[in-house]
């Protein structure tokens, strides 16, 4: 039984390779091609529409798996290997100051998967949050509240990009909604992170 399951996972992995790098990349129902800064065999790194802290990015499988348990063994390995690679890139960008070398141990990270709706998942596509933490951010565990609140609502952020303009005489209360980042802003960040990932890969 175990051999059959391993063989099936291997076959699924090979099939995934054939379809894993589409020309157009989707995160759930949202097209995010320009936000992608890295791709591996089975997954990609994505700039975030609603980062709770600077450098908050996502790692997402190309295959639209809903839950972590939906991934094959090969996909799980690639997924978490990509998380580590992205951590190293973010460390080199955010932790390289005050005499520090920009290594992962020069700062900290929150690595979070909201695995299902009850856990706060707002986009029906598995994703891992990678959030660099420095001594200066001073929000402690508040980061988890931010992830669960409207401030970190990724699905809501994508919806907001297409939200119709408000009509009527009552103005929106200023500051009541954290605006999602623009496509242009995310694309520019993706270019920077893509170059940094290339540098790390070619070391």
- Taking only the tens of pLDDT, the chain with its 203 residues reads 555 554 555 445 444 444 445 589 999 999 999 999 999 999 999 999 999 999 999 999 999 999 999 999 999 999 999 999 999 999 999 998 877 788 999 999 999 999 998 888 999 999 999 999 988 887 877 777 777 777 766 766 666 666 544 344 444 444 445 678 999 999 999 999 999 999 988 87
pLDDT at 56: 96
pLDDT at 158: 67
Cα–Cα–Cα angle for 127, 133, 139, rounded to 5 degrees: 100
pLDDT at 17: 42
Indicate if 14 belongs to the active site: no
Distance, in Å, from the CA atom of 115 to the CA atom of 127, rounded to the nearest integer, reads 8
Distance, in Å, from the CA atom of 37 to the CA atom of 44, rounded to the nearest integer, reads 7
Task: Report yes or no: 67 and 115 within 8 Å, Cβ to Cβ.
Answer: yes
Q: Is 129 annotated as a binding residue?
A: yes
pLDDT at 172: 42
Q: Is 2 annotated as a binding residue?
A: no
pLDDT at 197: 95
**pTM greater than 0.85 (yes/no):** no
Q: What is the DSSP letter of 38?
A: E
Coil, strand or helix at 183:
helix
Q: Is 120 annotated as a binding residue?
A: yes
* Active-site position among 39, 56, 125, 127: 127
Task: Report yes or no: 42 and 61 within 8 Å, Cβ to Cβ.
Answer: yes
pLDDT at 185: 95
Q: What is 26-161's CATH superfamily? A: HIT-like (3.30.428.10)
Residue with tokens 């295959």: 63
Distance, in Å, from the CA atom of 108 to the CA atom of 106, rounded to the nearest integer, reads 7
- Angle 183-201/73-94 helices, nearest 10 degrees? 100
Q: Is 138 annotated as a binding residue?
A: no
Task: Report yes or no: 72 and 17 within 8 Å, Cβ to Cβ.
Answer: no
Task: Report yes or no: 105 and 138 within 8 Å, Cβ to Cβ.
Answer: no
Q: What is the DSSP letter of 13?
A: H
Q: Is 114 annotated as a binding residue?
A: yes
């Amino acid at each position: 039984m175990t051999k059959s399951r391993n063989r099936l996972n291997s076959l699924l992995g090979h099939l995934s390779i054939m379809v894993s790098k589409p020309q157009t990349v989707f995160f759930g129902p949202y097209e995010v091609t320009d936000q992608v800064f890295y791709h591996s065999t089975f997954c990609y790194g994505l700039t975030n529409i609603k980062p709770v802290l600077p450098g908050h990015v996502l790692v997402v499988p190309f295959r639209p798996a809903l839950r972590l348990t939906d991934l094959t063994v090969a996909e799980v390995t690639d997924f978490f290997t990509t998380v580590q690679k992205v951590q190293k890139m973010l460390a080199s960008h955010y932790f390289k100051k005050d005499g520090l070398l920009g290594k992962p141990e020069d700062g900290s990270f929150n690595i979070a998967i909201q695995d299902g709706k009850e856990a706060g998942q707002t986009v029906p596509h598995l994703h891992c949050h990678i959030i660099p933490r420095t001594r200066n951010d001073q929000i402690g565990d508040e980061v988890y509240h931010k992830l669960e609140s409207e401030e970190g609502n990724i699905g809501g952020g994508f919806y907001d990009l297409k939200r119709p303009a408000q009509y009527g005489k009552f103005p929106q209360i200023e500051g009541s909604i954290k605006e999602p980042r623009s496509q242009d802003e995310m694309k520019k960040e993706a270019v920077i992170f893509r170059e940094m990932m290339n540098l790390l890969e070619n070391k």
